[in-house]
A and B are shown apart, each in its own frame.
Chain A
Protein backbone atom coordinates (compact mmCIF):
# COMPACT_ATOMS: atom_id res chain seq x y z
CA UNK A 1 0.00 0.00 0.00
CA UNK A 2 1.02 3.61 -0.50
CA UNK A 3 3.08 4.95 2.37
CA UNK A 4 4.67 8.36 2.89
CA UNK A 5 7.07 8.75 5.81
CA UNK A 6 8.27 12.23 6.71
CA UNK A 7 11.29 13.48 8.62
CA UNK A 8 10.99 14.44 12.27
CA UNK A 9 10.06 17.67 14.00
CA UNK A 10 12.43 20.61 13.70
CA UNK A 11 13.04 23.93 15.43
CA UNK A 12 14.47 26.82 13.42
CA UNK A 13 15.52 30.40 14.03
CA UNK A 14 13.82 33.25 12.18
CA UNK A 15 15.53 33.97 8.88
CA UNK A 16 16.83 30.43 8.45
CA UNK A 17 15.63 27.61 6.19
CA UNK A 18 14.09 24.21 6.82
CA UNK A 19 14.13 21.10 4.65
CA UNK A 20 11.53 18.39 5.17
CA UNK A 21 11.75 14.98 3.51
CA UNK A 22 9.04 12.54 2.46
CA UNK A 23 10.00 8.97 1.60
CA UNK A 24 7.47 7.18 -0.59
CA UNK A 25 6.77 3.50 -1.08
CA UNK A 26 4.10 1.22 -2.52
CA UNK A 27 3.68 2.87 -5.93
CA UNK A 28 5.60 4.14 -8.98
CA UNK A 29 7.19 7.24 -7.47
CA UNK A 30 7.93 9.10 -10.70
CA UNK A 31 4.38 9.16 -12.01
CA UNK A 32 2.40 10.88 -9.27
CA UNK A 33 2.39 14.41 -7.96
CA UNK A 34 3.83 14.92 -4.50
CA UNK A 35 2.40 18.08 -2.97
CA UNK A 36 3.14 19.88 0.26
CA UNK A 37 0.31 21.12 2.45
CA UNK A 38 0.71 22.92 5.75
CA UNK A 39 -1.49 23.70 8.73
CA UNK A 40 -0.54 26.52 11.04
CA UNK A 41 -1.87 26.46 14.62
CA UNK A 42 -5.60 27.15 14.63
CA UNK A 43 -5.67 27.50 10.84
CA UNK A 44 -6.84 25.38 7.94
CA UNK A 45 -4.99 23.38 5.31
CA UNK A 46 -2.91 25.36 2.83
CA UNK A 47 -1.44 23.99 -0.40
CA UNK A 48 2.13 25.17 -0.93
CA UNK A 49 3.16 23.47 -4.13
CA UNK A 50 3.77 20.16 -5.84
CA UNK A 51 5.98 18.23 -8.20
CA UNK A 52 5.53 15.26 -10.50
CA UNK A 53 9.01 13.71 -10.23
CA UNK A 54 9.17 12.55 -13.84
CA UNK A 55 8.49 16.08 -15.10
CA UNK A 56 10.80 17.83 -12.61
CA UNK A 57 8.80 21.05 -13.06
CA UNK A 58 7.19 22.11 -9.80
CA UNK A 59 4.09 24.24 -9.34
CA UNK A 60 3.81 26.64 -6.43
CA UNK A 61 1.11 28.61 -4.70
CA UNK A 62 1.67 32.29 -5.43
CA UNK A 63 2.12 33.00 -1.73
CA UNK A 64 5.25 30.83 -1.60
CA UNK A 65 6.82 31.68 -4.97
CA UNK A 66 10.51 32.40 -4.53
CA UNK A 67 10.63 31.06 -0.99
CA UNK A 68 9.92 27.36 -1.41
CA UNK A 69 11.86 24.73 -3.28
CA UNK A 70 10.38 21.30 -4.05
CA UNK A 71 12.59 18.53 -5.36
CA UNK A 72 12.54 14.76 -5.74
CA UNK A 73 15.21 12.06 -5.79
CA UNK A 74 13.91 9.10 -7.76
CA UNK A 75 16.89 6.97 -6.75
CA UNK A 76 15.58 6.97 -3.16
CA UNK A 77 11.87 7.69 -3.83
CA UNK A 78 12.13 10.75 -1.62
CA UNK A 79 10.62 14.20 -2.07
CA UNK A 80 11.88 17.33 -0.35
CA UNK A 81 10.42 20.69 0.54
CA UNK A 82 12.73 23.51 1.53
CA UNK A 83 11.29 26.76 2.87
CA UNK A 84 13.56 29.75 3.34
CA UNK A 85 13.43 33.12 5.15
CA UNK A 86 11.41 31.59 7.95
CA UNK A 87 9.27 33.71 10.26
CA UNK A 88 7.12 32.76 13.24
CA UNK A 89 4.17 32.60 10.83
CA UNK A 90 5.77 29.55 9.22
CA UNK A 91 5.32 27.56 12.43
CA UNK A 92 3.07 24.75 11.24
CA UNK A 93 2.66 21.06 10.61
CA UNK A 94 3.85 20.30 7.10
CA UNK A 95 2.38 17.34 5.22
CA UNK A 96 3.41 15.69 2.00
CA UNK A 97 0.58 14.17 0.01
CA UNK A 98 0.48 12.00 -3.11
CA UNK A 99 -1.76 12.97 -5.97
CA UNK A 100 -4.59 10.71 -7.00
CA UNK A 101 -4.12 10.83 -10.77
CA UNK A 102 -0.99 9.67 -12.56
CA UNK A 103 0.74 12.53 -14.34
CA UNK A 104 -1.64 15.25 -13.16
CA UNK A 105 -1.55 18.20 -10.78
CA UNK A 106 -5.33 18.55 -10.96
CA UNK A 107 -6.51 15.74 -8.75
CA UNK A 108 -7.07 14.87 -5.17
CA UNK A 109 -4.59 13.92 -2.48
CA UNK A 110 -4.79 10.17 -2.20
CA UNK A 111 -2.33 9.49 0.66
CA UNK A 112 -0.67 11.67 3.23
CA UNK A 113 2.49 11.61 5.27
CA UNK A 114 2.24 11.72 9.04
CA UNK A 115 3.16 15.41 9.20
CA UNK A 116 6.25 17.25 10.39
CA UNK A 117 6.02 20.00 12.99
CA UNK A 118 8.29 22.92 12.19
CA UNK A 119 8.61 25.51 14.94
CA UNK A 120 10.19 28.87 14.17
CA UNK A 121 11.38 30.58 17.31
CA UNK A 122 14.22 32.76 18.42
Chain B
Protein backbone atom coordinates (compact mmCIF):
# COMPACT_ATOMS: atom_id res chain seq x y z
CA UNK B 1 0.00 0.00 0.00
CA UNK B 2 1.56 3.24 -1.16
CA UNK B 3 1.96 6.30 1.05
CA UNK B 4 0.60 8.44 -1.78
CA UNK B 5 -2.72 7.25 -3.20
CA UNK B 6 -3.51 7.34 -6.91
CA UNK B 7 -6.40 5.81 -8.86
CA UNK B 8 -5.27 2.57 -10.53
CA UNK B 9 -6.55 3.64 -13.93
CA UNK B 10 -8.11 6.46 -15.91
CA UNK B 11 -9.15 6.69 -19.53
CA UNK B 12 -10.22 9.22 -22.10
CA UNK B 13 -10.74 9.67 -25.80
CA UNK B 14 -8.29 11.55 -28.00
CA UNK B 15 -8.66 15.29 -27.52
CA UNK B 16 -10.33 14.98 -24.12
CA UNK B 17 -9.07 16.07 -20.69
CA UNK B 18 -8.26 13.66 -17.89
CA UNK B 19 -7.04 14.17 -14.36
CA UNK B 20 -5.02 11.91 -12.10
CA UNK B 21 -5.19 12.56 -8.37
CA UNK B 22 -2.45 11.99 -5.81
CA UNK B 23 -3.52 12.06 -2.18
CA UNK B 24 -1.07 12.15 0.70
CA UNK B 25 -1.08 13.13 4.35
CA UNK B 26 0.25 15.63 6.86
CA UNK B 27 3.76 14.15 6.70
CA UNK B 28 4.22 14.62 2.95
CA UNK B 29 1.99 16.69 0.66
CA UNK B 30 0.11 18.23 3.58
CA UNK B 31 3.41 19.30 5.14
CA UNK B 32 4.18 21.36 2.07
CA UNK B 33 6.76 19.11 0.46
CA UNK B 34 7.01 19.42 -3.30
CA UNK B 35 5.28 16.89 -5.52
CA UNK B 36 6.73 15.61 -8.77
CA UNK B 37 5.23 13.57 -11.60
CA UNK B 38 6.67 10.97 -13.93
CA UNK B 39 5.52 9.28 -17.10
CA UNK B 40 6.53 5.64 -17.43
CA UNK B 41 6.27 3.60 -20.60
CA UNK B 42 6.85 -0.16 -20.45
CA UNK B 43 10.46 -1.17 -20.87
CA UNK B 44 12.00 2.28 -20.67
CA UNK B 45 13.11 4.55 -17.85
CA UNK B 46 10.58 6.85 -16.20
CA UNK B 47 10.53 10.38 -17.56
CA UNK B 48 10.26 13.48 -15.38
CA UNK B 49 7.05 15.24 -16.35
CA UNK B 50 6.49 17.89 -13.66
CA UNK B 51 8.89 18.94 -10.91
CA UNK B 52 8.46 21.09 -7.82
CA UNK B 53 4.68 21.04 -8.12
CA UNK B 54 4.13 23.01 -11.32
CA UNK B 55 7.33 23.13 -13.39
CA UNK B 56 7.73 21.36 -16.70
CA UNK B 57 11.17 20.30 -17.96
CA UNK B 58 11.98 21.54 -21.43
CA UNK B 59 10.24 19.46 -24.04
CA UNK B 60 7.18 18.64 -21.94
CA UNK B 61 4.15 20.26 -23.57
CA UNK B 62 1.86 22.61 -21.67
CA UNK B 63 -0.94 20.06 -22.10
CA UNK B 64 0.37 18.73 -18.78
CA UNK B 65 -0.45 20.82 -15.72
CA UNK B 66 -0.91 20.40 -11.98
CA UNK B 67 -3.22 21.76 -9.30
CA UNK B 68 -2.79 21.33 -5.56
CA UNK B 69 -5.04 21.59 -2.53
CA UNK B 70 -4.26 20.56 1.02
CA UNK B 71 -3.02 16.99 1.08
CA UNK B 72 -3.83 16.33 -2.59
CA UNK B 73 -2.52 17.24 -5.98
CA UNK B 74 -3.84 16.42 -9.45
CA UNK B 75 -2.17 16.06 -12.82
CA UNK B 76 -4.31 17.26 -15.71
CA UNK B 77 -3.70 16.23 -19.30
CA UNK B 78 -5.60 18.14 -21.95
CA UNK B 79 -5.90 17.36 -25.65
CA UNK B 80 -5.23 13.66 -25.04
CA UNK B 81 -3.04 11.96 -27.62
CA UNK B 82 -2.36 8.29 -28.26
CA UNK B 83 1.26 8.83 -27.20
CA UNK B 84 0.10 9.84 -23.71
CA UNK B 85 -0.90 6.25 -22.97
CA UNK B 86 1.44 5.30 -20.12
CA UNK B 87 1.71 4.86 -16.37
CA UNK B 88 1.90 8.05 -14.30
CA UNK B 89 3.44 8.34 -10.84
CA UNK B 90 3.50 11.11 -8.26
CA UNK B 91 6.44 11.40 -5.86
CA UNK B 92 7.17 13.47 -2.77
CA UNK B 93 9.16 13.46 0.45
CA UNK B 94 7.74 12.04 3.65
CA UNK B 95 9.10 13.44 6.91
CA UNK B 96 7.82 10.55 9.01
CA UNK B 97 9.55 7.97 6.80
CA UNK B 98 12.56 10.18 6.14
CA UNK B 99 12.75 9.60 2.42
CA UNK B 100 11.08 9.77 -0.96
CA UNK B 101 7.73 8.13 -1.54
CA UNK B 102 5.84 7.29 -4.73
CA UNK B 103 2.19 6.90 -5.48
CA UNK B 104 1.02 3.50 -6.60
CA UNK B 105 0.81 4.64 -10.21
CA UNK B 106 -2.09 5.28 -12.59
CA UNK B 107 -2.47 3.60 -15.95
CA UNK B 108 -3.81 6.02 -18.55
CA UNK B 109 -5.63 4.44 -21.46
CA UNK B 110 -6.40 6.52 -24.54
CA UNK B 111 -9.56 5.04 -26.01
Residues of A within 8 A of B (CB): 35, 37, 44-47, 49-50, 59-62, 95, 97, 100, 105-115
If A106-B34, A108-B51, A108-B52 touch, whether A47 touches B101 (CB-CB below 8 Å) is: yes
How far, in whole Å, are A35 and B36 apart by their CA atoms in the complex? 15
If A45-B89, A45-B105, A100-B51 touch, whether A105 touches B46 (CB-CB below 8 Å) is: no
The size of the chain B interface, using a CB distance under 8 A, is 26
> Does the CB pair A95–B93 fall under 8 Å?
no
By a CB distance below 8 angstroms, the chain B residues around A50 are 99-100
By a CB distance below 8 angstroms, the chain B residues around A61 are 97, 99
Residues of B within 8 A of A (CB): 2, 33-34, 36, 38, 40, 44-48, 51-52, 87, 89, 91, 93, 97-105
By a CB distance below 8 angstroms, the chain A residues around B48 are 100, 108-111
